[in-house]
Amino acid sequence: MLTSLLLLGLTRLESTLSGTVSLPNGRPAYQAIVSFTGSTRPKPGGKAVVDQKDRTFLPHVSVVPVGTRVQFPNNDIVFHNVFTEFNSTKFDLGNYPKGTSRSQVLTRPGLAVILCSIHPEMCAYVMVVDTPFCALTDKKGHYQISGVPSGHYKVTFWHESGAKTAFDTDIAGNAPINIPLKK
Ligand SMILES: [Cu+2]
């Protein structure tokens, strides 16, 4: 039993990738987006939620694979709207009241800046990536992504301050990947 489990692990050669992302000023990058895009495509039918409460989108930053349906429930006492310009595809979910929800499937990779036409202070970022291997960093700038098969990947990091970087790498093990972000 143990032998077969070990063999299974060896044949699949999946890595757990982790590391720390730091901003150009040396501080940890909180809510930076990390993604590894290789030959594995995301499974269709993913779901995510960007809530609306206290005139704020929550979470402020999220990352989803292409094909994900994002729900935008209104859990506030006022009407909200959701609109964006998304890789030349505009969508506008209209104005809707407390206790209702609207959703949108995000089908193209890229950054969707989510806005509300009623409250100009409301803003959220949804990064759409063409890979299942993506994560957000925590307050220490740390990320972890498990189950990544060996292979060649394009690695991208993005932070709402505008700091970002991208490079290619071969993954074949659990070595940490620590990235300083450049402006
Ligand atoms: Cu609003």
pLDDT in tens, 97-138: 999 999 999 999 999 999 999 999 999 999 999 999 999 999
Domain closes at, from 112, 130, 148: 130
CATH code, domain with 63: 2.60.40.420
Question: What domain count does the chain have?
Answer: 2
Instruction: Specify whether 36 is located in the same domain as 46.
Output: no
Q: How far is ligand 1, taken at its centre, from the CA of residue 129, in Å?
A: 26
What is the residue range of 67's domain?
42-130
- Tell me, in angstroms, the distance from the centre of ligand 1 to residue 115's CA: 8
**What's the 159 CA to ligand 1 centre distance in angstroms?**
24
CATH of the domain at 182: 2.60.40.4130
Q: Which residue is associated with the tokens 């063409």? A: 130
**Cβ-based burial of 67 (10 A; exposed 0-12, middle 13-18, buried ≥19):** middle
Based on the fold, state whether residues 55 and 126 are members of the same structural domain. Answer: yes
Q: Looking at per-residue confidence, does 125 or 86 come out higher?
A: 125
Q: Which residues surround ligand 1, an ion (CB under 5 A)?
A: 80, 116, 118-119, 122
- Determine the Cα–Cα distance for residues 102 and 81; give it in Å rounded to an integer: 10
Q: What's the gap in Å between 100 CA and the centre of ligand 1?
A: 13
The pLDDT assigned to 89 comes to 66
124 and 145 together in one domain: no
Over residues 136-145, mean pLDDT: 96
**63 shares a domain with 30:** no
pLDDT of residue 98: 96
6, pLDDT greater than 60: no
Going by pLDDT thresholds of 50, 70 and 90, the confidence category of residue 88 is low
pLDDT at 5 over 60: no
Alpha helices in the chain (DSSP H): 2-12
Same-domain status, 139 and 171:
yes
C-alpha to C-alpha distance for 63 and 124, rounded to whole angstroms = 11
- Regarding whether 113 and 55 lie in a shared domain, the answer is yes
**pLDDT at residue 142, rounded to an integer:** 96
Residues 6+ apart with CB under 8 A from 82: 52, 72, 92, 93, 102, 104, 114, 115, 116
- The reply to whether 120 and 176 lie within a common domain is no
Three-state DSSP state, 48:
strand
Residues 30 and 58 in one domain: no
Choose between 89 and 176: higher pLDDT. Answer: 176
Q: d(Cα 175, Cα 93) in Å, to the nearest integer? A: 43
CA-to-CA distance for 98 and 53, rounded, in angstroms? 10
Task: Out of 108, 130, 152, pick the residue that ends a domain.
Answer: 130
Tell me the pTM: 0.89
Confidence of residue 71 (pLDDT cuts 50, 70, 90): very high
Given the DSSP bridges, would you call strands 151-158 and 89-96 parallel, antiparallel or unpaired? Answer: unpaired
In the reported structure, the alpha carbon of residue 11 is separated from the centroid of ligand 1 by a whole-number distance in angstroms of 50
Asked if residue 52 and residue 98 are part of one domain, the reply reads yes
Q: What is the mean pLDDT of the chain?
A: 90
Please check whether residues 23 and 60 belong to one and the same domain.
Answer: no
Asked if 57 and 106 sit in the same domain, the reply is: yes
Same domain, 110 and 171: no
Residue 102 Cα to ligand 1 midpoint, Å, equals 13
Domain boundary among 90, 115, 130: 130
